[in-house]
Amino acid sequence: MRVGILGSGLMGGKLGTLFTRAGHEVIFSYSRHRKKLDDLARSAGRKARAGTPADAVREAEALLLAVHWSRLEDVLKQAGDISGRVIVTCSLPMNLTDTELVVAHTSSGAEELAKLVPRAKVVSALGSVPSEVFFGVFEARDSGSRPSML
């Protein structure tokens, strides 16, 4: 599967790396520094590369949205038309200081995202899992007992 990563920080970087290690083609995008994307793609493996959000959308079968809520509109603008795409979002609707939810009392981040991209299929996942556990869980997958993040 070809996966576009929109947001290549802690969550997007780690999940994209694991997707690559699992055999998927990954395009990392949306970082303040192109060098960070290039380094991330190089370290993830031969099936990963860096690109723009528009590249990630154009070439991917599924998208991972992993940006701070305050960057949502900017990344969607750079991504272009995402009609018909599956978007897995781990972005939590937090304020700029990450001290309070800006959405969730009567709606959810996924519902608000779906309103912004009505012709895409939005799924919320992994938002409550700290990125620090991903590599350990992935590495334990063949250890005899199935790993769990619960």
Predicted pLDDT at 140: 56
- Give the domain ranges of the chain: 2-142
Encode the chain in three state secondary structure.
CEEEEECCCHHHHHHHHHHHHCCCEEEEECCCCHHHHHHHHHHHCCCEEECCHHHHHHHCCEEEECCCHHHHHHHHHHHCCCCCCEEEECCCCECCCCCCECCCCCCCHHHHHHHHCCCCEEEECCCCCCHHHHHHHHHHHHCCCCCCCC
Per-residue pLDDT of 43-75, as tens digits, reads 999 999 999 999 999 989 999 999 999 999 999
2-142, superfamily in CATH?
NAD(P)-binding Rossmann-like Domain (3.40.50.720)
CA distance 118 to 101: 22
Predicted pLDDT at 71: 95
Per-residue pLDDT of 80-118, as tens digits, reads 999 999 999 988 888 899 888 888 778 888 899 999 998
